[in-house]
Structures are given as C-alpha cells and as structure tokens.
Chain A
Amino acid sequence: MKNISYNYISYATLFKIRFIAGLQYRAAAWAGIATQFAWGFMEILAFAAFYRASPDVFPMEFSHLVSYIWIQQAFLALFAPWGSDVNAAETIINGNIAYEMSRPLSIYNRWFFEKAAIRVSRTALRCLPILIVAFILPEPFGMTLPSDPFVFLSFILSAVLGLCVVTSYSMLDSISVFYTMNRYNAILVIFADFLAGGYIPLPFFPEPLRKIAELLPFAAMQNTPLRIYSGNISGNDTVYAICLQLFWFIIMLVTGKILMRNSLKRVLIQGG
C-alpha cells in the first residue's frame, strides 16, 4: 500500500499517452461528427412528427428529448457500450500480454485507464462541434442549458460515473477474452446499447421493461447523465440514480478485479 499517489504516475502517463494517440484520428472524428449530426437530426425529426400527432401521450417533454438526443450524440464516444477498444483483447489473443505482465503495474488498472483515455480523447475531438451547432439551432430543435447550476454539477458527476460504469463493463468484456479467445461480442453489445437507452430513451420503454431497464447497469452508463441534464429526472430521483450508478460501478469493478486475478493465474501465453 505504499506510495499510492506515486503509483498513479504510471497510470496517469498511460492515460496521457492514449489520449494523445487518440487525438491523431482526425478523419475518423470528422466522419463521426457527420454521422452523429445526421443521426441526431433524423431522430429529432422523427420524434417531432410523433409529438405533432399527439403530444400528450409522450413520457418526456419535447425540449427534454431534444437535449437528451444532442448530448447523447455529442458524448457518444464517452458513454456508448459499443465504443470499447480491442487493444486489451488483442494482447490476450496475440500473447503480448506477456510483456504487459512483466511491468510493475496492475493489468486491471492499466487497461481501465487506457480504455477511459481512449473514450475521453474520442469525445474531446467530437463533442464541441456538435454542442456548438446544437446550441445555435432555433427553438424546438436546439439544445438548452440546464435550469440551475446544481443540475449541471449533478450531470458532470453522473457523466464521470457513467464513464466509470461503461469502462468497468468494457473490462468485463475484455476479461472474457481470456476464456473465449474471441474479441468481438457483437450481440451482447447491441443488447447493452438498447438497454442503455442508445436507440430509444428509456422513458419510452413499455412499463415493466422500463422499470427493469432502469435498474440495470446499462442505464447507469448513458441514460442517467442524459436524463439529469435534460431535466427529465430531478431532485431525489437524481440522488437515487447517481447512487445506483455508484453501486453498479463498484459491483463491476470488484467482479472485474476478481475475474482478472483468476484469469491471470491460468493465463496461457498464446503463440509461445
């Protein structure tokens, strides 16, 4: 337990390096921005049509929904369950984990920081253009600032926790590669994205499903910060939702660390 803060110099460096490396992918970022604009507009226009038909039957106010969608598009790389990197999986499959294990670092912490860094750097490149345009857009289609600073602070806290939850989930995904030797779990990811509110915001889910989905860790990744920002949940519900995020983060962190320890015990170095 000695020198914990000193210890984190290494992880901070890994974070920094992954962050810088991520900033190099400018073409990918522009493509991402274009996709996210197109997707955001389509989604808002589609919902606008439904709202025009009968505004009363919808569970979210239209302005909340618009903020939800724009924030979602701006921070897609930060929260989306499918945004996982495959670097960790690759090192397991090609055997380069031998070198990672010969470094004086915890493999779990190392990958956690690297994964988080990749998400943060992808988001750093993409979020600003989307946010700027979303704020400039005229009334019903533009984004609004939260009503008071407390909401904004809760959003920040919830966003950080969302990143922790999604990263610890992605760690479980990578650790499973020790057992499956398969780096893409496509079906699992689509399932996770759906339950995170990636396609339709969770308030639109039919009743029993909504209640269940809100309790699951997937909601803690993306749904919670977006609904806090948009004002869809507030007050005690916010506190409750943030505690739930913390709960899932701790559960997945502990599970991941235990599984990692067991996998490393039985690790085989692929390819000699």
Chain B
Amino acid sequence: MIELKNITKTFRVARRSAGIKEAFRSFFRREYEYIRALKNISFKIGGGEMVGYIGPNGAGKSSTIKIMSGILNPDSGECIINGRIPWKDRINHVGEIGVVFGQRSQLWWDVPVADSFELLKDIYRTPKDTYKNNLEELSEILDLSQIIRTPARQLSLGQRMRCELAASLLHSPKILFLDEPTIGLDAVSKLAVRNFIRKINREKNTTVILTTHDMQDIEAIADRILLIGKGEILLDGSFSDLKHRSKNKNIDETIAEMYREFKI
C-alpha cells in the first residue's frame, strides 16, 4: 500500500552570523549549507496499519510525511502509494488521503467550521450521501454538534483539533497522515483524539501514520513504530520492542537513551 525506497531529500539553507557587517557581506556572497534531511529512507506500510513515526525535532519526520502526501519532491528514491507516485500524480493521490498538520489550520478562519466542511465537500467532490454520513458520524464521535457553528478563530485548541480531524476524514480517505495531532493539547483532548484515531482505524480500516513527541500517544495508538534520527530509519518494530529495551525506565527515558545510543 505504501512503499518507500531509498528516499533522499536535501535542503539548502542560507547561513550567516549576526551583525551588520555579516549582513552586508552576505549581500554579495551568500553562504549556503546543504542539510540532508532524509538519507535512504525505506519502509513498507500495509493497509489498515497504525504506525507511529517518532524522532527528535529536525529528524525528518515532517519531510517524510510531506513527501508521502505529494507536497515535497524528493531528490531521489521511489515512493509508491496506492499505485501512484505522490508528487507526480498529486491531484489524484491527495484525493484519497487525509492530512492534518498539527501546527497549521485547514479551517477557514473567519467563518463557522460548518462552512469549511461544506467547502471541503466541494473541493473533494464528495458525494452528498457519503458526506452526510461522514459528517454525522464524525460529529457524534468527536462531539462537534456544539462547536461546528462557531468561527474557527474562536475555538480552543482542543476544539479546533477535533474539527481538523473531522475535516481530514470527510471524504473517506484510505490513508490518514497526522503530523503532531496532539501538540499543545490538554489531557482530556489528547485522550479524545487518541480514542478517535483508534476508533477510525478499527471501524474503517483507515491506515494511520502519525508523528508525535508524546510517547503516550504512541503507546495508546501505534501498533508499529518507526524511529527516525538525522534522516535515517533507526528502528522499525512494535511498541513492545521499544518497551523491551527500557526495563524499568519510562518511555521518554528509553527514547532519550536510544537517541544517545544512535548518536542522534
């Protein structure tokens, strides 16, 4: 279903030291640094899997998600999702996936959430019945009936994230990419989001790939873990594999230890 082979991505970053003199100099001669965000990333994910994609900040998690969702072009390597190359056949590919970027909003800021949903229905050309059923179902599980008529800017972060999740599933995608869906949420909202993701996976067999820094998210959701550090896959296994390494320590400590062990 999802297959990545030797995906590599490099970013060019302009660098200079602080200060007027340096700023002036860089006007004439700019220094660039090439950052290898992803080095030969390969993995396979089957239909209906729930995969936790973890790693420290800057490890390449978001870049991988963006490549898989057709937004970034990698420098080299192959990626086939549902028989398509995401960045070559972006429009058809994204019609079958759902995406949530936890640090951004896909809801239209000034209008009630319901209007954003209607717009998404037309953008994805979702059949009326499918849309209606999905909306009813999602409103019920995520408890949206009260907040759906509020403008997005007046929602709390937790309420907004529930709406973002609903927005990403209105067109019944087969694959759901969640980039830090629990960032900044309180305990109650986090639990709600986790339960919801599990439920969607169980009932609709949606493949879920999520990135997070919250190890409890991983424990609660992911059947499988991909650990990435400095652009390389360091571990591909189950949560119990990870737990096995930890013995008496908590998960955060285990991860930190693994980062040290792999020198990332």
A105–B99 Cα distance when bound, in Å, is 15
A269–B63 Cα distance when bound, in Å, is 9
When each residue 70-91 of chain B gets 1 if its CB lies under 8 Å from chain A and 0 otherwise, what string results?
1111000000000000010011
Chain A residue total in the interface (Cβ 8 A): 25
A104–B95 Cα distance when bound, in Å, is 5
Question: Is B103 close to A, CB under 8 A?
Answer: yes
Question: Is B125 close to A, CB under 8 A?
Answer: yes
A101–B93 Cα distance when bound, in Å, is 11
Question: Is A267 close to B, CB under 8 A?
Answer: yes
| Contact A102 B123, beta carbon cutoff 8 Å | no
| Contact B122 A10, beta carbon cutoff 8 Å | yes
Interface size class of B (residues with CB under 8 A): 20 to 34
Question: Is B101 close to A, CB under 8 A?
Answer: yes
Besides A17-B115, A21-B110, A101-B71, 5 more A-B contacts (Cβ < 8 Å) are A95-B104, A98-B101, A99-B104, A99-B106, A103-B123
Question: Is B66 close to A, CB under 8 A?
Answer: yes
| Contact A106 B99, beta carbon cutoff 8 Å | no
B114 to chain A, nearest CB (A): 13
Residue in contact with B71 in the complex, picked from A9, A105, A267, CB distance below 8 Å: A267
Residues of A participating in the B interface, judged by any CB pair closer than 8 Å: 6-7, 9-10, 13-14, 17, 21, 95-96, 98-99, 101-106, 265-269, 271-272
Residue in contact with B125 in the complex, picked from A6, A102, A106, CB distance below 8 Å: A6
Residue in contact with B70 in the complex, picked from A14, A17, A102, A269, CB distance below 8 Å: A102
| Contact B11 A268, beta carbon cutoff 8 Å | yes
A-B contact count (CB 8 A): 65
Within B32-77, the residues touching A (CB, 8 Å) are 62, 66, 69-73
- List, in ascending order, chain A residues with CB within 8 A of B70's CB: 101-102
Name the residue among B73, B91, B111 with the largest chain A CB count within 10 angstroms: B91
| Contact B73 A98, beta carbon cutoff 8 Å | no
Chain B minimum-CB-distance residue to A105 = B123
Question: Is B94 close to A, CB under 8 A?
Answer: yes
| Contact B91 A105, beta carbon cutoff 8 Å | yes
Residues of B participating in the A interface, judged by any CB pair closer than 8 Å: 11, 62, 66, 69-73, 87, 90-92, 94-95, 97, 99, 101, 103-104, 106, 110-111, 115, 119, 122-125
A sample of 10 cross-chain residue pairs with beta-carbon separation below 8 angstroms, ordered by A number, consists of A9-B125, A14-B122, A95-B104, A98-B104, A101-B70, A102-B69, A104-B123, A104-B125, A267-B73, A272-B62
| Contact B104 A102, beta carbon cutoff 8 Å | no
B33 to chain A, nearest CB (A): 14
Complex A-B, nearest 9 residue pairs according to Cβ-Cβ distance, in ascending order: A13-B122, A104-B95, A102-B99, A101-B71, A99-B106, A104-B91, A10-B123, A102-B94, A265-B73
Residue in contact with A267 in the complex, picked from B72, B101, B124, CB distance below 8 Å: B72
Contact A104 to B94, CB < 8 A, known contacts A9-B122, A99-B99, A269-B71: yes
Residue in contact with B119 in the complex, picked from A17, A99, A101, CB distance below 8 Å: A17
Chain B minimum-CB-distance residue to A96 = B104
| Contact A101 B94, beta carbon cutoff 8 Å | yes
B167 to chain A, nearest CB (A): 10
A268–B11 Cα distance when bound, in Å, is 8
- List, in ascending order, chain B residues with CB within 8 A of A268's CB: 11
- List, in ascending order, chain A residues with CB within 8 A of B66's CB: 98, 269
Name the residue among A6, A101, A106 with the largest chain B CB count within 10 angstroms: A101
Name the residue among A13, A96, A98 with the largest chain B CB count within 10 angstroms: A98
B115 to chain A, nearest CB (A): 8
- List, in ascending order, chain B residues with CB within 8 A of A98's CB: 66, 71, 101, 104
A271–B66 Cα distance when bound, in Å, is 13
- List, in ascending order, chain A residues with CB within 8 A of B94's CB: 101-104
Chain B minimum-CB-distance residue to A104 = B95
- List, in ascending order, chain B residues with CB within 8 A of A13's CB: 119, 122-123
A235 to chain B, nearest CB (A): 44
Chain B minimum-CB-distance residue to A6 = B125
